[in-house]
């Protein structure tokens, strides 16, 4: 591609979001702010029981209610040639409404579309459902027992799935949704050769993303065989593909539009309301809108609960010889994207360490809980909680500083990974050194109050991004020299519209204010896999660069004869083309068009396609097109009398390759850290008798202003990636992942207790301190007698 | 049982026909089409729907429209007088105090109520005052920076 030297005009600058003014004035429209004329409002009847066979559904009384336009039950979907009854991103285990069974409390059973939401709500009360209740199971490991009730008798694979999830299979007649195995070396031999072997179990509960904007969708069959869905979605193309499959339509006949989202964090990936809204719209022959209540959001998608068994063999000098990881992830009632989560969790389950003998088994189970899927960190925060906690257990047992133990084992450039490749571009040492320095590692602060204790902890991480994948971009250079970008990337708050505009601005030398990003409309944007996996800056940013290069080449060919130079010599500056030596004045893009064509109405299209592969150029395997690398250090204050933990100082580092917009990078780091602190200290979904009992913000605790540390120090490490735009890598998930273990490690440093179950509630800390005191006094008693 | 409710919204008097069970939020969003105010939790604990009622912050999801009769309501749409952004709005942009911004309208109005009551609010007062507003993107520290720039507290070092 032709080169433009970086001018520093926008790249590396903390420019505010392009839509800033709309956001602070309330003018920015989120989906539920729009009203389509003639739209019907839908409500969903949900299962009140965790597991049951549906004996009978009678919706006749609901249909009679004035204002009701359509009622959808299994009678509409089973055997209906208009669409497929079963769907799902990997396995076709979901139905639009329950067809034979319900599998969790909240499972959609029927839906009503009416002229007003209140009428739809009232109609739900008139639907009679008889259930034959079945035994249920809520634990991933118990679900694999032979005696466990089975949720799905048989699961069908989707025919054309995702490129990176080949080889994944459910086991029919069991709750095993997926088993992924990786190994390297010989772990048994490694354990035999070790001086010490450590075995621990770590758990983390299911949690909820808690996007403040609830899920919403508006579906309309608005042309000949043509479906349009306005959607709160992070991956509109995947929704388009699945809707086309379900409703037997060509891709050209499905349009999915995602507006700016009020947060995503993984919760708005893959179908949620779209198939239901579309099926209702088809039946009612009118557009249908659904917006979930907060309780329904909690019943829609969660983070995988995990139990992880770790066994680690080490030499007395701290060198790790072998590590065995057994991961049990709870995917709830439907697979969703769980199989990919379990795979990603496995890739880096042994941590960012150079270990000769590793074995990983990742089991994914169906249970009678709310489905679990993508959650910022995608299975890695669960496995990181385990290995980063165990590192400190080992360090304490061996009397080695936890930071030093990590340094002795970190992956180095060219280290062999369990995935079969030699790893490159790992700024692990830099990240760890920087966070440790930021919290004055090794220096102990004494609190004034004797009931308080202070401690410090670190944790580091490595994570893959989805590979292989595709992002493509289209740029239209308009008649006046301004530019419009067509991209599938959804702006979920991270600032992709701004960063992609910055890249185009830099590449085309067009002022930022003259660039518009037309985002995530599948009718106009070329294909993009998803806004997830920390992938957009790297992948879409690169696609935008390639599209800009395509424009530049076209401009150069047009301009060269006019400027009297060769196309390769044309220089781009200030929205102008000019000769390199200043022998002729610059010619604006607009003037160039007029000069060449002599008529208004000429614009140019540039296209860029970026596709990653699972092989390096030299043929070596490649698991991830880039690796997310980071570390965190926490200083905590623990109240011995109450178990209350306060994070007083926190530093978080990530290798961002190149900070295209440092403000946004810091926001990602601080924001990720804050969610990580929430997951560490307070967040968990609680089930009682098969029922999720805290599906709201009153009972589900989220970090608030009083829970946030005085300062979170974001540290941006810039090790340029050869393929990233200007060297940039993704960083959306990095900072969340190491927060829970960094905090648990700091707690042990402060009060000498090890918490292995998340969240680290005051009760858990208090009881652990009590237990330790009792053990110590029993020990003292023994010594005395 | 439609009622007529009189209230002043963003300085303009309104006579609104509404059901007695309609919340202030529903009246603002549906009847007056002021969609800048957002529904988050529907139980008065997330702050996304915060508006000022007679100068005080309320969760409009949990105030009945009839109970807001005869009151003065300020929503985010009414803050930028004459097209010029309010200093709080400017500070939110300058300090990067939002990402997805679904919480932003509520937070800006909560900050306005805070600074109206305590123009020199310190950090602790600010944290307590804003404890009812959630921000899941995690911009709390940037929001605190924005408030500090307006309350005359010593600023933190600039970030590039």
CATH code for the domain of B25? 3.10.20.30
A311 and A282 in a common domain: no
Give the pLDDT confidence score for residue A203 in this predicted structure: 98
pLDDT tens digits, one per residue of A187-196: 999 999 999 9
Q: Which chain B residues contact residue A703 at CB under 8 A?
A: 138, 140
- Which residue of chain A comes nearest to B143, CA vs CA? A705
- The answer to whether position A202 is within a domain reads no
A752 and A699 in a common domain: yes
- The answer to whether position B114 is within a domain reads yes
Task: Kindly list the distances between the CA atom of residue A557 and the CA atoms of A400, A507, A598, in Å, as whole numbers in the listed order.
Answer: 64, 17, 17
B23 touches chain A (CB under 8 A): no
Q: Domain total for chain B?
A: 2
Say which DSSP state A481 is in. Answer: S
B110 and B64 in a common domain: no
- To the nearest whole angstrom, how far is the Cα of A76 from the nearest Cα of chain B? 32
A357 and A231 in a common domain: no
- The answer to whether position A151 is within a domain reads no
Instruction: Indicate the pLDDT class of residue A785, thresholds 50, 70 and 90.
Output: low
Contact B35 A705 (CB under 8 A): no
Contact A263 B134 (CB under 8 A): no
Q: Residues A611-621: what's their mean pLDDT?
A: 89
Contact B134 A704 (CB under 8 A): yes
Q: Are A742 and A679 in contact (CB under 8 A)?
A: no
Q: Are A260 and A28 in contact (CB under 8 A)?
A: yes
Report chain B's terminal Cα–Cα distance, integer Å: 58
B122 and B61 in a common domain: no
Give the best residue of A8, A22, A24 to mutate against chain B (max B CB count within 10 A). Answer: A24
**Which ipTM did the prediction report?**
0.98
- The answer to whether position A152 is within a domain reads no
Closest CA to A261 of A31, A575, A500: A31
- Which residue of chain B comes nearest to A12, CA vs CA? B160
- Which residue of chain A comes nearest to B158, CA vs CA? A663
Query: Which residues, other chains included, contact A242 with Cβ-Cβ below 8 Å and sequence gap of 6+?
Result: A87, A89, A270, A271, A274, A275
What does the block give as tokens for A573?
């500056």
- Which residue of chain B comes nearest to A494, CA vs CA? B99
B7 touches chain A (CB under 8 A): no
Residues A485, A491, A495, A499: what is their CA dihedral angle, to the nearest 10 degrees? -20
Domain boundary at B50, B78, B106, which? B78
B85 touches chain A (CB under 8 A): yes
Contact B101 A24 (CB under 8 A): yes
Cβ count within 10 A of residue A452: 17
Domain boundary at A587, A611, A635, which? A611
Contact B46 A671 (CB under 8 A): no
Give the pLDDT confidence score for residue A419 in this predicted structure: 85
pLDDT tens digits, one per residue of A716-762: 999 999 999 999 999 999 999 999 999 999 999 999 999 999 999 99
Q: Which chain A residues contact residue B131 at CB under 8 A?
A: 704-706
A53 and A24 in a common domain: no
Give the pLDDT confidence score for residue A142 in this predicted structure: 98
- The answer to whether position B41 is within a domain reads yes
Q: Which chain A residues contact residue B138 at CB under 8 A?
A: 667, 670-675, 703
Q: Residues A580-607: what's their mean pLDDT?
A: 93
What does the block give as tokens for A404?
């030093």
B114 and B60 in a common domain: no
Domain boundary at B78, B101, B117, which? B78
- Our CA angle for A653, A657, A661, nearest 5°, is 80
A625 and A589 in a common domain: no
- The answer to whether position B157 is within a domain reads no
Residue % of chain A over a pLDDT of 70: 99
B126 touches chain A (CB under 8 A): yes
In b/e form, how buried is each residue of A128-140, taking b as 16+ CB within 10 angstroms?
ebebeebebbbbb
Give me the total of CB pairs closer than 8 Å, taking one residue from chain A and one from chain B. 159
What CATH number corresponds to the domain at position B106?
Answer: 1.10.150.120
- To the nearest whole angstrom, how far is the Cα of A183 from the nearest Cα of chain B? 37
Contact B139 A214 (CB under 8 A): no
pLDDT higher than threshold 80 for residue A166: no
B129 and B88 in a common domain: yes
Q: Which chain A residues contact residue B132 at CB under 8 A?
A: 704
pLDDT higher than threshold 80 for residue A4: no
Q: Residues A547-554: what's their mean pLDDT?
A: 98
B128 and B67 in a common domain: no
A256 and A119 in a common domain: yes
Cross-chain CB nearest to B127 (options A494, A663, A705) = A705
Query: Which residues, other chains included, contact A554 with Cβ-Cβ below 8 Å and sequence gap of 6+?
Result: A604, A606
Give the pLDDT confidence score for residue A261 in this predicted structure: 98
Q: Domain total for chain A?
A: 3
Query: Which residues, other chains included, contact A490 with Cβ-Cβ below 8 Å and sequence gap of 6+?
Result: A233, A234, A235, A236, A258, A261, A264, A496, A519, A520, A531
pLDDT tens digits, one per residue of A79-126: 999 999 899 999 999 999 999 999 999 999 999 999 999 999 999 999
- To the nearest whole angstrom, how far is the Cα of B103 from the nearest Cα of chain A? 7
Cross-chain CB nearest to B99 (options A24, A26, A667) = A667
- The answer to whether position A170 is within a domain reads no
* Sign of the C-alpha dihedral computed for residues B109, B111, B112 and B117 taken in this order: positive
Range of the domain at B16: 3-78
B35 touches chain A (CB under 8 A): yes
Domain boundary at A563, A584, A611, which? A611
B137 touches chain A (CB under 8 A): yes
Q: How many residues does chain B have?
A: 160
Contact B93 A20 (CB under 8 A): yes
A24 and A90 in a common domain: no
- To the nearest whole angstrom, how far is the Cα of A260 from the nearest Cα of chain B? 8
**What's the half-sphere exposure (Cβ side, CA atoms, 13 Å) at A113?**
26
- The answer to whether position B35 is within a domain reads yes
Q: Residues A345-358: what's their mean pLDDT?
A: 96
Q: Please give, one letter per residue, the 3-state secondary structure of A253-306.
A: HEEEEECCCCCCCCCCCCCCCHHHHHHHHHHHCCCEEEECCHHHHHCCCECCEE
B59 and B41 in a common domain: yes
B50 and B16 in a common domain: yes
Q: Peptide bond before A759: cis, by omega within 30 degrees of 0?
A: yes
B60 and B24 in a common domain: yes
Pairing verdict, β A196-204 and A305-314 = antiparallel
Give the best residue of A117, A705, A707 to mutate against chain B (max B CB count within 10 A). Answer: A705
Q: Which of A164 and A271 is assigned the larger pLDDT?
A: A271
* CA A659 – CA A653 distance, rounded (Å): 12
- The answer to whether position B44 is within a domain reads yes
B98 and B126 in a common domain: yes
A237 and A95 in a common domain: yes
B4 touches chain A (CB under 8 A): no
- The answer to whether position A394 is within a domain reads yes
B58 and B92 in a common domain: no
Cross-chain CB nearest to B89 (options A24, A696, A708) = A24
- Which residue of chain A comes nearest to B22, CA vs CA? A118
What are φ and ψ of residue A660, in 5° steps?
-65, -35
Domain boundary at B78, B107, B126, which? B78
Range of the domain at A498: 20-28+469-611
- To the nearest whole angstrom, how far is the Cα of B151 from the nearest Cα of chain A? 17
Cross-chain CB nearest to B89 (options A25, A670, A706) = A25
Task: Kindly list the distances between the CA atom of residue A155 and the CA atoms of A74, A82, A91, in Å, as whole numbers in the listed order.
Answer: 19, 22, 7
- The answer to whether position B158 is within a domain reads no
Give the pLDDT confidence score for residue A3 in this predicted structure: 39
Give the pLDDT confidence score for residue A1 in this predicted structure: 35
* CA A735 – CA A206 distance, rounded (Å): 19
Domain boundary at A586, A611, A636, which? A611
Contact A663 B79 (CB under 8 A): no
Residue with tokens 């068994």: A309
- The answer to whether position B159 is within a domain reads no
A765 and A677 in a common domain: yes
B94 touches chain A (CB under 8 A): yes
B64 and B88 in a common domain: no
Cross-chain CB nearest to B96 (options A209, A264, A663) = A663
- To the nearest whole angstrom, how far is the Cα of B78 from the nearest Cα of chain A? 9
pLDDT tens digits, one per residue of A382-392: 999 999 999 99
A573 and A452 in a common domain: no
Q: Are A435 and A712 in contact (CB under 8 A)?
A: no
| Residues 39-58 in B contacting A (C-alpha not used; CB under 8 Å) | 39-43, 45-46, 48
Q: Which chain B residues contact residue A33 at CB under 8 A?
A: 29, 35
B147 and B100 in a common domain: yes
Q: Which chain B residues contact residue A671 at CB under 8 A?
A: 99, 137-139
What CATH number corresponds to the domain at position A566?
Answer: 3.30.365.10
* CA A648 – CA A452 distance, rounded (Å): 12
Give the pLDDT confidence score for residue B155 in this predicted structure: 77
The mean pLDDT value of chain A amounts to 95
Cross-chain CB nearest to A26 (options B105, B133, B134) = B105
- The answer to whether position B37 is within a domain reads yes
* CA A132 – CA A614 distance, rounded (Å): 48
A387 and A254 in a common domain: no
- The answer to whether position A145 is within a domain reads no
- The answer to whether position A382 is within a domain reads yes
Instruction: Indicate the pLDDT class of residue A232, thresholds 50, 70 and 90.
Output: very high
A524 and A487 in a common domain: yes
Residue % of chain A over a pLDDT of 90: 91
Choice among A6-20, A584-598, A731-745 with the minimum mean pLDDT: A6-20
Per-residue pLDDT of chain B in tens (160 residues, 90 and over written 9): 899 999 999 999 999 999 999 999 999 999 999 999 999 999 999 999 999 999 999 999 999 999 999 999 999 999 997 889 999 999 999 999 999 999 999 999 999 999 999 999 999 999 999 999 999 999 999 999 999 999 988 877 777 6
Q: Which chain B residues contact residue A17 at CB under 8 A?
A: 98
Q: Which chain A residues contact residue B43 at CB under 8 A?
A: 294, 696-698
* CA A299 – CA A695 distance, rounded (Å): 7
Q: Are A676 and A739 in contact (CB under 8 A)?
A: yes
Query: Which residues, other chains included, contact A453 with Cβ-Cβ below 8 Å and sequence gap of 6+?
Result: A447, A637, A638, A640, A750, A751
pLDDT higher than threshold 90 for residue A220: yes
What CATH number corresponds to the domain at position A293?
Answer: 3.90.1170.50
Q: Which chain B residues contact residue A207 at CB under 8 A?
A: none
B138 touches chain A (CB under 8 A): yes
- The answer to whether position A187 is within a domain reads no
- To the nearest whole angstrom, how far is the Cα of A10 from the nearest Cα of chain B? 13
């Amino acid at each position: 591609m032709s080169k433009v030297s970086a001018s520093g005009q926008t790249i590396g600058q903390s420019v505010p979001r392009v839509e800033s003014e709309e956001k602070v004035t309330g003018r920015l429209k989120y989906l539920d702010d729009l009203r389509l004329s003639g739209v019907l409002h839908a409500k969903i009847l949900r299962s009140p029981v965790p597991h049951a066979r549906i004996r009978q559904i009678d919706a006749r009384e609901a249909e009679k209610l004035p204002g009701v336009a359509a009622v959808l039950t299994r009678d509409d979907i089973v055997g209906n040639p208009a669409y497929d009854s079963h769907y799902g991103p990997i396995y076709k285990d979901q139905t639009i409404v329950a067809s034979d069974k319900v599998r969790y409390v909240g499972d959609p059973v029927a839906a009503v579309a009416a002229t007003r939401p209140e009428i739809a709500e009232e109609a739900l009360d008139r639907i009679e459902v008889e259930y034959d209740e079945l035994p249920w199971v809520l634990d991933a490991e118990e679900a694999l027992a032979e005696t466990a009730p089975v949720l799905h008798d048989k699961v069908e694979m989707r025919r054309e799935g995702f490129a990176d999830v080949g080889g994944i299979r459910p086991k029919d007649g069991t709750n095993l949704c997926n088993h992924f195995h990786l190994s390297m070396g010989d772990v048994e031999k490694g354990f035999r050769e070790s001086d010490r072997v450590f075995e621990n179990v770590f758990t983390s509960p299911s949690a909820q993303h808690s996007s403040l904007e609830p899920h919403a969708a508006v579906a309309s069959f608005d042309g000949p065989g043509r479906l349009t869905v306005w959607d709160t979605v992070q991956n509109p193309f995947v929704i388009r593909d699945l809707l086309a499959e379900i409703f037997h339509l060509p891709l050209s006949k499905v349009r999915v539009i995602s507006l700016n989202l009020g947060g995503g964090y993984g919760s708005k990936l893959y179908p949620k309301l779209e198939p239901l809204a579309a099926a209702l719209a088809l039946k009612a022959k009118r557009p249908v809108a659904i917006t979930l209540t907060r309780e329904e959001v909690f019943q829609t998608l969660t983070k995988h609960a995990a139990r992880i068994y770790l066994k680690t063999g080490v030499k007395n000098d701290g060198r790790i010889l072998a590590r065995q990881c057994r991961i049990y992830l709870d995917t709830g009632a439907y697979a969703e994207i769980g199989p990919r989560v379990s795979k990603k969790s496995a890739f880096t389950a042994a941590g960012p360490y150079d270990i000769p003998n590793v074995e990983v088994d990742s089991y994914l189970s169906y249970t009678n809980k709310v489905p679990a899927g993508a959650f910022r960190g995608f299975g890695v925060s669960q496995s990181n909680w385990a290995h980063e906690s165990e590192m400190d257990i080992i360090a304490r047992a061996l009397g080695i500083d936890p930071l030093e133990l990590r340094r002795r084992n970190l992956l180095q450039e060219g280290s062999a990974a369990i995935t079969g490749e030699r790893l490159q571009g790992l700024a692990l040492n830099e990240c760890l050194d920087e966070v440790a320095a930021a919290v004055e590692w090794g220096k102990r602060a004494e609190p004034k109050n004797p009931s308080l204790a202070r401690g410090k902890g670190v944790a580091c991480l490595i994570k893959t991004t989805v590979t292989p994948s595709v992002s493509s971009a289209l740029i239209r250079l308009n008649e006046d020299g301004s530019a419009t970008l067509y991209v599938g990337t959804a702006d979920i708050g991270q600032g992709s519209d701004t960063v992609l505009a910055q890249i185009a601005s830099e590449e085309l030398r067009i002022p930022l204010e003259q660039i518009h990003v037309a985002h995530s409309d599948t009718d106009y944007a070329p294909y993009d896999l998803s806004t997830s996996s920390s992938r957009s800056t790297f992948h879409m940013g690169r696609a935008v660069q390639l599209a800009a290069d395509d424009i530049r080449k076209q401009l150069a060919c047009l301009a060269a004869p006019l400027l009297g130079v060769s196309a390769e010599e044309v220089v781009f500056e200030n929205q102008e083309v000019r000769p390199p030596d200043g022998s002729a004045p610059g010619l604006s893009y607009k003037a160039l068009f007029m000069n060449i064509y002599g008529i208004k109405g000429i614009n140019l299209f540039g296209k860029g396609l970026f596709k990653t592969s699972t092989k390096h150029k030299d043929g070596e395997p490649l698991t991830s097109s880039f690796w997310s690398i980071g570390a965190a250090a926490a200083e905590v204050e623990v109240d011995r009398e109450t178990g209350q933990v306060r994070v007083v100082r926190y530093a978080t580092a990530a290798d961002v390759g190149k900070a295209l917009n440092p403000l946004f990078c810091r926001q990602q780091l601080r924001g990720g850290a804050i969610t990580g602190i929430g997951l560490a200290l307070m967040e968990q979904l609680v089930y009682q008798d098969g029922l999720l009992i805290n599906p709201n913000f009153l009972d589900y605790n989220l970090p608030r202003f009083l829970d946030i540390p005085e300062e979170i120090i974001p540290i941006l490490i810039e090790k340029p990636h050869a393929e990233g735009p200007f060297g940039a890598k993704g960083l959306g998930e990095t900072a969340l992942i190491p927060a829970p273990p960094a905090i648990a490690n700091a707690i042990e440093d402060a009060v000498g207790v090890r918490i292995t179950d998340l969240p680290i509630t005051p009760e858990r800390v208090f009881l652990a301190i009590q237990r330790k005191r009792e053990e110590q006094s029993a020990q003292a008693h023994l010594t005395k007698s | 049982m439609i009622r007529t409710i009189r209230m002043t919204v963003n300085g303009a008097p309104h006579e609104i026909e509404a059901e007695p069970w309609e919340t202030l939020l529903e009246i603002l969003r549906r009847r007056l089409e002021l969609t800048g105010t957002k529904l988050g939790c529907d139980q008065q604990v997330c702050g996304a729907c915060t508006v000022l009622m007679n100068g005080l912050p309320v969760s409009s999801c949990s105030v009945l429209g009839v109970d807001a009769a005869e009151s003065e309501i300020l929503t985010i749409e009414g803050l930028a007088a004459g097209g010029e952004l309010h200093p709080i709005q400017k500070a939110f942009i300058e300090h990067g105090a939002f990402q997805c911004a679904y919480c932003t309208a509520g937070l800006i109005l909560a900050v306005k109520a805070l600074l109206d009551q305590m123009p020199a609010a310190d950090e602790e007062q600010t944290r307590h005052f804003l404890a009812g507003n959630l921000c899941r993107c995690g911009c709390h520290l940037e929001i605190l920076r924005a408030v500090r720039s307006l309350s005359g507290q010593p600023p933190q070092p600039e970030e590039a």
